[in-house]
A and B are shown apart, each in its own frame.
Chain A
Amino acid sequence: MQKSSSPVFENRALAAVWDFADERLGLSDMIAFAKKKQVPQHEHSFWYYWGGISLFFFLVQCFTGVLLLVYYRPGVEAYESVRQITYDIEFGWLVRSAHSWSANLMVVAIFVHMFSVFFMKAYRRPREFGWWSGLGLLGLAMVFGFSGYLLPMDELAYFATKVGLEIPMSIPVVGPFLGDLIRGGPDVGENTVQRFFALHVVILPALFVPLLMFHLWLVQRHGNAVPPGEEIKPAERRRSIPFFPNFLAKDLAMWLIALNVLAVLASLYPWELGPQADPLAPAPLGIHPEWYFMSQFQVLKVFGAWFPGIVGEALGILLFTAGGIVWALIPLYDPDSRNGQRARIATWLGFAALVGLIILTAWGYLAL
């Protein structure tokens, strides 16, 4: 009763197990479906891997995160427990380092994925929801990063969180209440760690995972988008490879590379733990947020210098909010680029956003 897409087992016991599972779960139908699925091959195909790489780092986060949960204690003991993980528990430094490095690499991969989708104009009809759900995932990933940054409760974490929370605090009327709610009191302390912990390990995963499923389901439904330059080619000149096993094998090879990069970074550059946060100590010199908040940080700093007082901060936040909205709504004002590569305005907007982010980030680091 072997179907054509079933794997052939020489071992009779394995074949029997396969038949048992296949009859009940329809595995060979799934394989047949995956074999029929085609992934376009062209000069920009390389960028198709970045969503998968982001997914890989997310899986690493789940795995290393659960390992950290084995010893991490939120609340008053937060710093002490991270100190134990880093210096006391065998290989604890490696688990923590892998978690921190993988978090950063995941955000890098998501950014690369987002910009490649943007420049390949993969947000166009019918993939608008893919673009929006992807932006939602990026937003959640940044909140993951922000909340996770506080959990060790060292000096940098403490001040970065204090400064970061000034942003929701500056929202008119509700801001101060919101700040108190997020912090669990008037200042960052053990209550803040406790609720950031709940956010980081329960609420965010509960939001992220379904949104990720939705995102992946859309990819499966609409297939890989081809860039306009490829779209105008006649059908017979376009090439593609089967998703299974060809593309999947390449995808897994990329995962292996990602794993190796992570292993090298995490073991050769172990993530540091600063001195314990002290609410009475002044902010250390050169304090700065994670790199993916650096551009916002720099805008606030510069606007604060140009327009003293609350005006500068408000203008900075307004600029980023407006930019984010323009960015999110791109599928609506560049809906189908029917004229091939000629949707130049969107391309220029993308370049402006990319270059702007890079310059602001570099400026932020140079100005430290």
Chain B
Amino acid sequence: MPEAMGHSEEVLEEGEDLLTRRAFVRVLAGVVGAGYAGAIGYPIYRYLATPATRASAMGAVTMVALPGAQELAPGSALMFRFGTRTSMLIRHADDTWVAFDAVCTHLGCTVQYEPDKERIYCACHGGVYDQHSGAAVAGPPPRGLTVYNVEVRDAEVIISRV
């Protein structure tokens, strides 16, 4: 080695060779490293995401039956789950029926039916929705509540997506 070092041309060539080899090793290390990161990261992601994946499969429902809900007293509400979403079925005092997604469009609190004030209200930041249409009436909510179809039968109430 020391003898060969005396030759300036050879030193230059050796330097060039080392650089490309270094670049190659770098790319290889990057690829292998990414492979390991993927092989470890992917199972961990799937492991942690299992409940969320299951829930989103559950959330794919388009219809929910509420047995016995036809006997709901006028002027009251029934909370239920539409897939994974907290939702509310309301029977107004005038015997009209309506169902909403009960999650406030502002910051995700659950809203409540206030029959005496004839409104749907969110206690977290004072959002007010129309009790018939679900439209945002006052306060911070950017848009109205999602409305569902309601079909009242003899022994159950059927809720479905609009």
Contacts and interface: CB of A to CB of B under 8 A. Distances in A.
Contacts, number: 27
A188 interface: no
Interface in B48-79: 48-50, 53
Interface string B11-42: 00000000000000000000000001001000
Contact of B50 (A90, A94, A263): A90
B44 interface: yes
A263 B38 CA distance: 14
A1 interface: no
B48 A94 contact: no
Contacts of B53: 90
B50 A89 contact: yes
A17 interface: no
Nearest to B36: A259
B30 to A, nearest CB: 15
Interface string A82-94: 0000001111101
A201 B46 CA distance: 24
DSSP class of A's interface residues: helix, strand, loop or mixed? Answer: helix
A70 interface: yes
A95 B40 CA distance: 10
A332 interface: no
Contacts of B36: 259
A95 B41 CA distance: 12
Contacts of B6: none
Q: How large is the interface on A (under 10, 10 to 19, 20 to 34, 35 or more residues)?
A: 10 to 19
B43 interface: yes
DSSP class of B's interface residues: helix, strand, loop or mixed? Answer: helix
Interface in A66-104: 67, 70, 88-92, 94-95
A249 to B, nearest CB: 12
A89 B53 CA distance: 11
Interface string A138-161: 000000000000000000000000
Nearest to B46: A90
A70 B48 CA distance: 8
Contacts of A92: 47, 50
A91 B47 CA distance: 5
Contacts of A70: 47-48
B52 to A, nearest CB: 11
Contacts of A91: 43-44, 46-47
Nearest to B42: A91
A95 B50 contact: no
Contacts of A90: 43, 46-47, 49-50, 53
Contacts of B46: 90-91
A88 B43 CA distance: 14
Interface in A235-294: 259, 263
A117 to B, nearest CB: 31
A91 B44 CA distance: 7
A67 B50 contact: no
A88 to B, nearest CB: 8
Interface of B: 36, 39, 43-44, 46-50, 53
24 contacts: A67-B44, A67-B47, A67-B48, A70-B48, A88-B50, A89-B47, A89-B50, A90-B43, A90-B46, A90-B47, A90-B49, A90-B50, A90-B53, A91-B43, A91-B46, A91-B47, A92-B47, A92-B50, A94-B43, A94-B47, A95-B44, A95-B47, A259-B36, A263-B39
Q: Which 4 A-B pairs have the closest CB atoms?
A: A91-B43, A90-B46, A91-B47, A89-B50
Interface of A: 67, 70, 88-92, 94-95, 259, 263
Given A90-B43, A90-B49, 11 more contacts: A67-B48, A70-B48, A88-B50, A90-B50, A90-B53, A91-B43, A91-B44, A94-B43, A95-B44, A95-B47, A263-B39
